[in-house]
């Protein structure tokens, strides 16, 4: 894998789960990073979003495209 970078911030656990499943299904290598910190009891996560997805820069455009399509389908 090449250099890993932060691609986009996810708002909640549902978005994270759906995006993780879709990227895995398509064979796109990625890492989901949660902002949850038990010492802060989730306070940072509530203010900053669930977390973010990381991947190689060459996948950035595709991941963002998949995310936007996914968000449009959510109620």
User: How many other β-carbons are positioned within 10 Å of the β-carbon of residue 58?
Assistant: 9
- What pTM was computed for the model? 0.83
User: At CA 29, angle to CA 45 and CA 27, rounded to 5?
Assistant: 120
Contact 39, 45 (CB under 8 A): no
Number of domains in the chain: 1
Q: What is the pLDDT of residues 16-47, one digit of tens each?
A: 999 999 999 999 999 999 886 656 555 555 56
Q: Is 30:15 a contact under the CB 8 Å cutoff?
A: no
Q: If pLDDT is split at 50, 70 and 90, which confidence band does 49 have? A: confident
Confidence band for 4, pLDDT divided at 50, 70 and 90: very high
Q: Do the Cβ atoms of 64 and 19 come closer than 8 Å?
A: no
Write out the residue range of the structural domain in which residue 45 sits: 4-73
The C-alpha atoms of residue 36 and residue 51 are separated, in whole angstroms, by 8
**Per-residue pLDDT tens digits for 55-75:** 999 999 999 999 999 999 877
């Amino acid at each position: 894998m090449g250099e890993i970078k932060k691609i986009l911030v996810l708002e909640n656990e549902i978005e994270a789960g759906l995006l993780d499943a879709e990227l895995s299904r398509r064979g796109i290598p990625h890492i989901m990073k949660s902002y949850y910190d038990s010492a802060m009891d989730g306070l940072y996560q509530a203010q900053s979003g669930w977390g973010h997805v990381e991947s190689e820069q060459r996948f950035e455009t595709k991941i963002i495209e998949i995310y936007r399509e996914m968000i449009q389908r959510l109620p």
